[in-house]
A and B are shown apart, each in its own frame.
Chain A
Amino acid sequence: MKVTELEKRLLAAARADRPSDRVPYAFEKRVMAHIAALPTVDAWALWARSLWRAAIPYAVAVVCLAAWLHFSAEPMAPADQITMDFENAILVAVEDSAIVF
């Protein structure tokens, strides 16, 4: 006999065999008990836990950054230099327009 014919017959047998939809007694109670026992997910608790976990690495990063800035920063320009720079910046437009006219 051909394999295709055998396959056809077996699939027909499988189609004829409808599985039972019988439900064990009080099965829904078992499901509900299982659901009631599930651990509840508290979003605020998760958020707080994540914050606590992140706190130490962030604190370390902030200290490192502060130290790096403190030791690598160039000395500040003297006050006179700042005043000069400010004046130049303000008057640059006036100087440019004087050249045009």
Chain B
Amino acid sequence: MEPTDPELIAAVLRGDQASFEPLVVRYQPRVFATARRYARREEEVEDVVQEVFVKAFQKLGSYRAEAPFEHWLMRIAVRVCFDFLRRHQRNREMRFTDLSDDESEWLDRLGAKGDASPDASAAKQLVGRLLEQLSPDARLVITLLEIEERSVREIAQMTGWSETLVKVRAFRARAQMRKLLGKMQQEKYL
């Protein structure tokens, strides 16, 4: 039988460093999926995931087992991703002329018939570009609230922000996103 999380954590805290490896194996797919929401290049994703596990190892002594290990680890993952976004903030403004033919066509179809599929790769690319334009906190809150559909309380626990701050940042993030979309649309139909 495989050892449980608390058994492995206790072994690591006793000094058995190797017991951390099964924890990495168990949770790395989840951490990779989270990191891929914020980092685009694969080497950046790998660096983020590595940083998450190294931080988890260093802070393992502060884990109180009040919540499952996975929740504690995901909190670290979200914070590391937020730090990554802050370090790699891209300030370049997106212009309509930057859009690929597919993205432009998807927008046209959506405007003309309203039947553009949300599964289209063009839509995914477009939303990726749009998220890159947002400030780090706006991107984090939009990802957690609108894309991963987490509650305000969950986001507050994951980020360490108060619930009021999450709501304020969500409001500002939506406004920022609409402003960007409005600008893009205006540019397109001018």
Contacts and interface: CB of A to CB of B under 8 A. Distances in A.
Nearest to B145: A11
Contact of B24 (A1, A4, A31): A31
A interface: dominant SS:
helix
Nearest to A15: B147
Contact of A32 (B20, B120, B127): B20
B119 A16 contact: yes
Contact of B21 (A20, A24, A28): A28
Interface in A9-48: 9-24, 27-28, 30-32, 34-36, 38
A6 interface: yes
B interface: dominant SS:
helix
A30 B32 contact: no
A23 B32 contact: yes
Interface residues of A, number: 31
Contacts of A54: none
Contacts of B24: 27-28, 31-32
Contacts of B46: 24, 27, 30
Interface stretch (B62-70, B72-80, B94-102, B108-116): B108-116
Interface in B103-125: 107, 110-111, 114, 116, 118-120, 123-124
Q: Which 7 A-B pairs have the closest CB atoms?
A: A13-B123, A19-B36, A21-B29, A12-B118, A21-B33, A13-B118, A28-B24
9 contacts: A1-B110, A7-B181, A9-B110, A9-B123, A10-B126, A21-B33, A28-B21, A35-B53, A35-B54
Interface of B: 17-18, 20-21, 24-25, 28-30, 32-34, 36-37, 46, 49-50, 53-54, 57-58, 107, 110-111, 114, 116, 118-120, 123-124, 126-127, 130-131, 142, 146-147, 149, 174, 177-178, 181-182, 185
